[in-house]
Structure 1
């Protein structure tokens, strides 16, 4: 210790106070000593100044050492206190330590060496305790802050849960509404398509060219609207988790050829070719034929829609035991890299200008993605702008269920 210590000596005996001063003078310590004769005087001094250590006479005119120490500690003053006693009474020593004294010393044993040792240990212990108290206070404040933050986070979590519940309910209501509307639209649409087909067959009399053109327009637009209604109905059924697969055994090669044949006329109207590449070790698969056909039709129709020249290729191959890959490759407009992450989301298309130019709702790939997931598979896409896209579907040869 090389700093100047501020020491308060509380003793009503001037001789004892002088003895303490002389002992300090003979130690390596530098000390500024302030004196008080009574406990009352000492309290006034402590209120006006700060100290590093207190030397306290056990018996004062207005109190005793134990009572004085207890009062200081109750007031939150934890300065190191060394008590000077007239004689070495072990019982008193125990009571002093219990009250909060740092140490005690019989006046008959007062010496520079003892004083130096006592004050050095007392101040070191006090400063260590101060560091502990500071750390405990910091920890208390940190814990209080954490509790407050936890409470705020819990309130935010509950708010988010309530909002999520409202969103889920709103989404459920939307799905139910769309399903109801779609069902209600199907009946008149089927009637429109049926009657337009009858008119096209001219079973009720001849139609002139203009009338035939108008009937074709009614039928074409009716079919487009029916596809849209079916997509909305499928999406709402999927979102409400009411769509169930009905798997059975069927020939996948036959299904691929069937879909390619049905889509061929659409491709030929645009001057496109449709090719097939089938390399299956076992053509018989266990899946929902209708829904897998829907996946293939969606992918092929998308490829044809966004391809102006070239070829659309559908390929099927066995990857491993109970696993196969269906790929649809086109030479169309492709997709920008930053837009690939959203193409499987409902009502999203890679570019909104596509909606104006090519039409569609943006539901086809979302439905396809959901159906493939229900088949315990996954779908990926590789695409380069102006070079074309390849959609790959991997599904089990035999799905569960």
Structure 2
């Protein structure tokens, strides 16, 4: 059985050492119970003696022993019911009450009662909350005042005979001191165990974390390297001690490594670098060294720096070879894509210019043939010439759209903005698509708001936007359908909308609006002709103006395409307009003529 006077490791502390999980708070609560049992046992052991003294006429020791017995049983019950703060208060007040009783019975200022009372605040500082500590010190001061008054008048309020109060005070102080010393030892041991447990946890974490961890002393000596470094470099840890870690850095990257380490070691600056380091492969058949990319984070340890000295440095080593390879692959893929885009644009521009010359000849000569310049033709020949003219015109339009699209993608399409009346756009564009609409009995109407503001935009580009939207609306409308053009002001934007009641688009098709060569009903069996460049050109021209293109559609219920163009034109570069440039940058400051100042003084 463990002695109550033992200062060794308790069962709870042993459990904490072996991983039982006891925390300092758990040990403090268990200490309350042990102290309660200690008080009960001590009171029971001295009870025969105090009963004998009570029979001799000295009832104070008996009363103090009974009080201690009741207090011990009460605190034990409170601790068992998880009322720990109340149990601690009861033990603190027991020491203060016993000390006050002995002080009232002893006329000396320095007596055993005052010493026992002093143990109360000390015990409260170990086991109670701050409020109880303040109360205990207040009561201690009051007991001290009582002792001083008693010593001044030389007469104790309580008259006790047939008992040595000095011996009683000494026994009580000894028991209280043993209880407090044991409590302080256990609490100190619990915090020490907790600190050791935390250190063990941190060490386990560092040793098994995926990134390798190192620590350098302020003089540059490698103090620690985690176990994960063996997997990172493919060698035992002892080979990396001393200069082994530094020798694995690629020769070309060593200046970067040393500079970053010096910044952390001398200036206390955290640095992150990426260097190449040698990795061993025990299964390799060649002696050619293999290098991997390693990200190194240097972090100075502020607590290790003294006046005028350097910092210790803690760092992380992480293999980023895969990330570097992926970045290189992405860069190569981006370069290939850019080259392919440039080649595509160059091809479209070249083939466009090459096709326009013969197509112009085809269109021109077919028009001459239909007009009878080369002589009278039969109806069949005139029909064939008309088909040639129609096909050539269609090809010219396709080539023009290809050239515009390639120029927009290459950033070579330039717009020339000027003040423009937006309502002048609609009528010419309607006339250009009216013939196609009449063939299918499609009615085109317009709704133009009154008092529209002047818009700063490229008129030719705006005509192309409206013509493309109208052509699409007519193309995808049903026979005898209706197309509506509306023009109105919406805040700081001009709202240009083209609506139809045609086939409409699905949500998936709306998401692809603006992509070159995309059509909703793509495939060999599609019912509508076209290259899929119309809306792509519209989107590009709208973005050049700083506007937006929106689509609202429902499959089978028609489509509404809306273009928002800023009334004040595309955004102006603030850097060019915010700074006023002097017309005379080299002009010297104007000197003040002295006679002007003299004239002011005279006035």
- Normalised by the length of structure 1, the TM-score is 0.67
Give unmatched runs, 5+ long, in structure 1: 3-24, 31-50, 53-112
Alignment-derived partner of residue 315 in structure 1:
486
Give the CA deviation at 1:295.
Answer: 0.6
Of 205, 212, 231 in structure 1, the residue corresponding to residue 375 of structure 2 is 205
Alignment-derived partner of residue 88 in structure 1:
none
Give the CA deviation at 1:197.
Answer: 1.0
Give the CA deviation at 1:392.
Answer: 0.3
Of 319, 333, 345 in structure 1, the residue corresponding to residue 515 of structure 2 is 345
For the residue of structure 2 that corresponds to 1:346, the secondary structure is coil
Give the CA deviation at 1:120.
Answer: 7.8
Give the CA deviation at 1:280.
Answer: 4.4
Q: Distance in 2 between matches of 1:264 and 1:354?
A: 29
Q: Compared with structure 1, are the counterparts of its residues 283 and 266 closer, same or farther at alpha carbon in structure 2 (3 Å cutoff)? A: farther
Q: Does 1:252 align with 2:422?
A: yes
Q: Distance in 1 between matches of 2:526 and 2:9?
A: 94
Give the CA deviation at 1:236.
Answer: 0.8
Alignment-derived partner of residue 301 in structure 1:
471
* Greater strand share, structure number: 1
Give the CA deviation at 1:293.
Answer: 0.8
For the residue of structure 2 that corresponds to 1:357, the secondary structure is coil
Alignment-derived partner of residue 214 in structure 1:
384
- Highest relative contact order (Cα 8 Å, sep 6+), 1 or 2? 1
Map 1:90-239 onto structure 2 (within 5 A): 126-139=196-209, 141=211, 148=318, 150-239=320-409
- After superposition, the C-alpha distances for 1:347-401 in whole angstroms (9 at most, x for unaligned) are 1111214973211111111111011000110110111111110000000123136
Give the CA deviation at 1:211.
Answer: 0.5
Q: Compared with structure 1, are the counterparts of its residues 127 and 230 closer, same or farther at alpha carbon in structure 2 (3 Å cutoff)? A: same
Q: Compared with structure 1, are the counterparts of its residues 123 and 216 closer, same or farther at alpha carbon in structure 2 (3 Å cutoff)? A: same
Alignment-derived partner of residue 240 in structure 2:
none
Map 1:361-372 onto structure 2 (within 5 A): 361-372=531-542
Of 308, 325, 328 in structure 1, the residue corresponding to residue 498 of structure 2 is 328
Q: Distance in 1 between matches of 2:360 and 2:539?
A: 28
Give the CA deviation at 1:127.
Answer: 3.8
Higher Cα radius of gyration:
2
Check whether the contact 1:280–1:318 (CA below 8 A) recurs between aligned residues: no
Map 1:13-92 onto structure 2 (within 5 A): none
For the residue of structure 1 that corresponds to 2:562, the secondary structure is strand
Q: Distance in 2 between matches of 1:385 and 1:158?
A: 44
Alignment-derived partner of residue 89 in structure 1:
none
Higher alpha-carbon deviation: 281-290 or 243-252: 281-290
- Normalised by the length of structure 2, the TM-score is 0.46
Q: Does 1:279 align with 2:445?
A: no
Of 556, 559, 562 in structure 2, the residue corresponding to residue 386 of structure 1 is 556
- After superposition, the C-alpha distances for 1:201-232 in whole angstroms (9 at most, x for unaligned) are 11221111101110110011111111111111
Paired residues, number: 301
Q: Distance in 2 between matches of 1:283 and 1:193?
A: 41
Q: CA RMSD in A?
A: 3.3
Q: Distance in 2 between matches of 1:148 and 1:136?
A: 13
For the residue of structure 1 that corresponds to 2:419, the secondary structure is strand
Q: Distance in 1 between matches of 2:368 and 2:418?
A: 35
Q: Distance in 2 between matches of 1:121 and 1:235?
A: 75
Q: Distance in 1 between matches of 2:319 and 2:441?
A: 65
- After superposition, the C-alpha distances for 1:121-180 in whole angstroms (9 at most, x for unaligned) are 876654443223113324564777985464422331232122112101110111111111
Q: Compared with structure 1, are the counterparts of its residues 137 and 257 closer, same or farther at alpha carbon in structure 2 (3 Å cutoff)? A: same
Q: Distance in 2 between matches of 1:354 and 1:384?
A: 24
- After superposition, the C-alpha distances for 1:37-92 in whole angstroms (9 at most, x for unaligned) are xxxxxxxxxxxxxx98xxxxxxxxxxxxxxxxxxxxxxxxxxxxxxxxxxxxxxxx
Check whether the contact 1:280–1:316 (CA below 8 A) recurs between aligned residues: no
Q: Distance in 2 between matches of 1:354 and 1:295?
A: 28
For the residue of structure 1 that corresponds to 2:376, the secondary structure is coil
For the residue of structure 2 that corresponds to 1:382, the secondary structure is strand
Q: Distance in 2 between matches of 1:292 and 1:140?
A: 60
